[in-house]
Structure 1
Amino acid sequence: MRDKIDEQILEELRRDSRVPITDLSRKVNRSRTAVQARLSRLEQSQQILGYTIKEPSTAETGGIGAIVLISMEIRSKGEAATRQFVTMPEIASCLRVIGDHDFALLINPIEKQRLNFVLEQIYKIDGVKRTKTIMALSKEF
């Protein structure tokens, strides 16, 4: 169970996941050892799943981000497909959705040729019946 101090730690990490533990401990008014123990507990309880970076937006890099909506032939093939999606570093996340499609893949900003390659790999996955690609023009927030 998270308490107020855990929430403060998480908020600081959301702002800057590379904040040194000594700075973090100062901000939450706890010892370095106590903060390290809390971080370990949050990681072990999967309250923190990882640390990440922020990359430049598509407008800055010239890369293209996309959302790929996927319909499966048979829903039971979805689990095998997700095991393949997770191996593709260009896919930022995979959401199971309801409606006309089974999955929504969020594709990181990449060059057009690389996006085409990723889409070809997705089309080849067993059970993928149909895809719809939505190109991202910019990230608003």
Structure 2
Amino acid sequence: MISEQDQTLLSLLRTNARMSISDLARALGVSRSTVQNRISRLEQTGVINGYVLEYGNQYLSEQVAAHVSIKVKQKLTTKTNVELKQLSQITALYAISGEHDLIAIVQAQSLEQLSKILDDIGNLDGVERTNSSVILETKFKR
């Protein structure tokens, strides 16, 4: 279990992972060494696994994104997951319950590229069917 102070630190880092140790210390009302120790401990215990690139709004506004629900032949699930991971336009893949087995988050530079990626997904060995929903607008993201 992590402390309330750790939760606040994680929230600050989620908002801006490049925030300086000094700024984090000021926001938390603690010393720089305390912040460094907390971050090290959160990394060592696996609470913080890494830091990622977040695209800017200008770049994202030029992208087309979709949620793709995928029904997979059960005996080919592992093979299909490996093949889906090879498609660089798939930014996340989730196993889900319900009618479909997976949801892929797909990002493309145009509707034409999205259409091609959807065809590529549908043509993979093991994919029975797909259902796509194009994302029109992001209301918020955490």
Identify the residue that residue 17 of structure 1 maps to in structure 2: 17
Aligned CA RMSD, in angstroms, stands at 2.3
Does the CA contact (< 8 Å) of 2:107 and 2:114 recur in 1? no
Identify the residue that residue 55 of structure 1 maps to in structure 2: 56
Deviations 1:22-50 (A, max 9, x none): 21122112222322222122223221233
1:95-110 map, 5 Å? 95-108=94-107, 110=109
Q: In percent, how many aligned pairs have the same letter?
A: 29
What TM-score results when the alignment is normalised by the length of structure 2?
0.81
Identify the residue that residue 137 of structure 1 maps to in structure 2: 136
**Equivalent position SS for 1:70:** strand
Structure 1: which 5+ runs fail to align? none
1:1-141 map, 5 Å? 1-52=1-52, 53-56=54-57, 60-61=61-62, 63-74=63-74, 76-108=75-107, 110-141=109-140
Q: AA paired with 1:129?
A: E
What TM-score results when the alignment is normalised by the length of structure 1?
0.82
Name the count of aligned residue pairs: 139
Distance 1:87-1:49 versus aligned 2 partners, 3 A rule: farther
Structure 2: which 5+ runs fail to align? none
Distance 1:59-1:16 versus aligned 2 partners, 3 A rule: closer
